[in-house]
Amino acid sequence: MAQHQVLSPLPGIFYRRPAPEKPPYKENGDRVAEGDVVGLIEVMKQFTEVHADAGGKIVRFLIDNEAPVEPGQPVLLIETS
């Protein structure tokens, strides 16, 4: 079982939902395809989508919703089978 880490492209605040009252883009255990949106990063009030750069099954998110992230920090772990 190969595991892949999706890294944050930017510094900022990580959001798992498109809006506060919306459900998360993805949950632990969900399947993702390469290119799927898995979160948002807010940098100086601008929002950038985070995309999965590999397909597979999400083992778990490594950053909480609304937590700070650094560039290159792993955001989630994907099992690429």
Considering the complex, what minimum distance in angstroms separates the CB of residue 41 from other proteins?
9
Residue 30, sorted as left (phi over 0), alpha (psi -120 to 50) or beta, turns out to be: beta
Considering the complex, what minimum distance in angstroms separates the CB of residue 5 from other proteins?
21
Query: How many whole angstroms separate alpha carbon 73 and alpha carbon 55?
Result: 19
The verdict on 22 binding other proteins (CB under 8 A) reads yes
Query: Phi first, then psi: what are they for 47, rounded to 5°?
Result: -110, 135
For other proteins, which residue of 4, 7, 9, 11 counts as binding (CB under 8 A)? 11
Q: Which residues bind other proteins (CB under 8 A)?
A: 10-13, 19-22, 42-46, 66-68
